[in-house]
Amino acid sequence: MSANTILLDFSLDPARINDEESRKDIVKLCKDNLEKYLVGLKLTYDMLTSDGYLCMLNETGSGTIVTIRFFQQGLITINVEYYRKDGDQPIISFEQIRELENHLVQKLKFNHGQSLPPLQRGPLTRFFPTADERVIEYDIDRVLYDQRSDFQKIQIVHSKSLGNMLVLDELQNISEADLIYTETLMCRGVEDYAGKEICILGGGDGALLYELLKEKPKHVVMLEIDEMVMQACNKYMNSICGDVLERLNDDRYEIILGDCMVYLNKFISDGRKFDYVFGDLTDIPISDTPTGEIWDFIRVILESSFKVLKPTGKFMTHGNGVSCPDSLEMYEKQLAKLTPKVTFTKSTAFVPSFMEEWVFYQVQREDANAAGSV
């Protein structure tokens, strides 16, 4: 079940908005043309707003409601909303919406028209944002898992083109089509993990652990706080995590359930050292300044990671979308302030489930080369 919302908008000379007669003509022509698809539209309400005019039309005998709004700045929005049963045809197809838009633009000599495919609103979340907050509609057709843990809302949904997809707090996280994400995070083919000691901070979906183990490291320890994410991925995301989430350890790896900061501190006091630390935790926040709880967390993670890295070790992490250069720059400024002094490289990849190009960082002590190569 879903409510369908059809959105059209038109730009025109503001004078035509503010003239009552002209407005009436526009409403009449919109109504006449909408009646090609909707039976017997009746004006049920109208009002002058502080910035224009609004009227509401109801289709006879149905719940279809059309709202036409005039903005004095020279804009008209038309919203059509109705309930659509599963399996029912839309009352107006996208092709017809576009026809309607083009017809109105030509008949009413509007400067510009725009129309969106009907938006489906209901119990299946189909819309996720890009890093720069554009909307993307995914071809989600079912929810496989939907639970709230102590830490976050966890969902596994199925996308026709991406396969199963992990969604954390309503943000797309990783899908079965995202091997490139893990490979770019770990710089496969560039870094040599054979015989190395590795620590993963986070990584509950298991994909990074699974891919790293293929490279024959000496040992991997993974610190993940949310057991429910692991259980969900172990059940529904086997193509990306294999069987690594089946058990908490074998001779190649250990998964420690808990707050990664607690265990990082323990490693520091124990003097335990790694060749690689992966920050597979939160993304770099999109914010105006590098302040607040998440930025503090990011700084602490960086500092602590370098305390458990060998002098030649590398900190590897995902950043954010290339569409958010300001946030990436803020992150790089934090790197510049780190003790010890570090240098970094970047890798990027178009991540299918993000529908955008993503940036990954590889951070190393400035004096690493003097200490010998990894």
Q: Give, for 96, the enclosing helix (H) or strand (E).
A: helix 94-107
CB nearer to a second copy: pick between 44 and 369: 44
Looking at the DSSP bridge assignments, the partners of residue 365 are 342
By the rule CB under 8 A, 349 interacts with a second copy:
no
The one among 134, 214, 235, 346 contacting a second copy by CB under 8 A:
134
Site for a second copy in 305-324 (CB under 8 A): 322-323
Phi-psi domain of 215 (left: phi exceeds 0; alpha: psi -120 through 50; beta: other): alpha
CB nearer to a second copy: pick between 44 and 249: 44
β 219-224/197-202 pair status: parallel
Please report how close the Cβ of residue 168 comes to a second copy at its closest, in angstroms: 13
The radius of gyration of the chain from alpha carbons, rounded to an integer in Å, stands at 27
Q: How many residues does the chain have?
A: 374
By the rule CB under 8 A, 77 interacts with a second copy:
yes
Stretch that binds a second copy, among 21-29, 41-49, 227-235, 304-312 (CB under 8 A): 41-49
Contact 5, 60 (CB under 8 A): no
The one among 74, 206, 290, 313 contacting a second copy by CB under 8 A:
74
DSSP secondary structure letter of residue 188: B
By the rule CB under 8 A, 329 interacts with a second copy:
no
The one among 119, 187, 261, 335 contacting a second copy by CB under 8 A:
119
The one among 54, 179, 213, 256 contacting a second copy by CB under 8 A:
54
Phi-psi domain of 135 (left: phi exceeds 0; alpha: psi -120 through 50; beta: other): beta
Q: Cα(109)–Cα(125) distance, rounded to whole angstroms?
A: 37
The one among 15, 39, 73, 296 contacting a second copy by CB under 8 A:
73
Q: Is 250 a catalytic residue?
A: no
By the rule CB under 8 A, 1 interacts with a second copy:
yes
The one among 33, 96, 132, 310 contacting a second copy by CB under 8 A:
132
The one among 161, 249, 291, 348 contacting a second copy by CB under 8 A:
161
Per DSSP, helices labelled H in 133-259 are: 179-185, 207-213, 227-236, 238-241
The one among 18, 33, 98, 340 contacting a second copy by CB under 8 A:
98
Q: Cα(93)–Cα(99) distance, rounded to whole angstroms?
A: 10
Give backbone dihedrals phi and psi of 72, rounded to 5 degrees, phi first.
-60, -20
* Per-residue tokens: 81: 């909303």
Q: Considering the candidates 150, 280, 283, 367, report the single residue annotated as catalytic.
A: 280
Q: How many CB atoms lie within 10 A of CB 20?
A: 10
Q: How many CB atoms lie within 10 A of CB 262?
A: 12
Contact 366, 343 (CB under 8 A): yes
Please report how close the Cβ of residue 339 comes to a second copy at its closest, in angstroms: 32
By the rule CB under 8 A, 251 interacts with a second copy:
no
By the rule CB under 8 A, 22 interacts with a second copy:
no
By the rule CB under 8 A, 122 interacts with a second copy:
yes
Residue type, 182: T
Please report how close the Cβ of residue 119 comes to a second copy at its closest, in angstroms: 7
Contact 211, 275 (CB under 8 A): no
Which of 363, 317, 314, 315 has the alpha carbon at shortest distance from 336?
363
First to last CA, the chain: 56
**With CB under 8 A, what is the number of residues at the site for a second copy?**
65
* Per-residue tokens: 161: 């083109």
Q: Is 21 helix (H, G, I), strand (E, B) or coil?
A: helix
Please report how close the Cβ of residue 135 comes to a second copy at its closest, in angstroms: 5
Stretch that binds a second copy, among 16-24, 31-39, 137-145, 275-283 (CB under 8 A): 137-145
Stretch that binds a second copy, among 71-79, 258-266, 304-312, 365-373 (CB under 8 A): 71-79
By the rule CB under 8 A, 43 interacts with a second copy:
no
Q: Which chain residues interact with a second copy by CB under 8 A?
A: 1-3, 5, 7, 9, 11, 44-45, 47, 49-52, 54, 56, 58, 61-63, 65, 67, 69, 71, 73-75, 77, 79, 81, 83, 94, 98, 111-112, 114, 116-117, 119, 121-123, 125-127, 129-130, 132-139, 160-161, 170, 322-323, 350, 352, 355-357
Residues carrying an active site annotation: 280
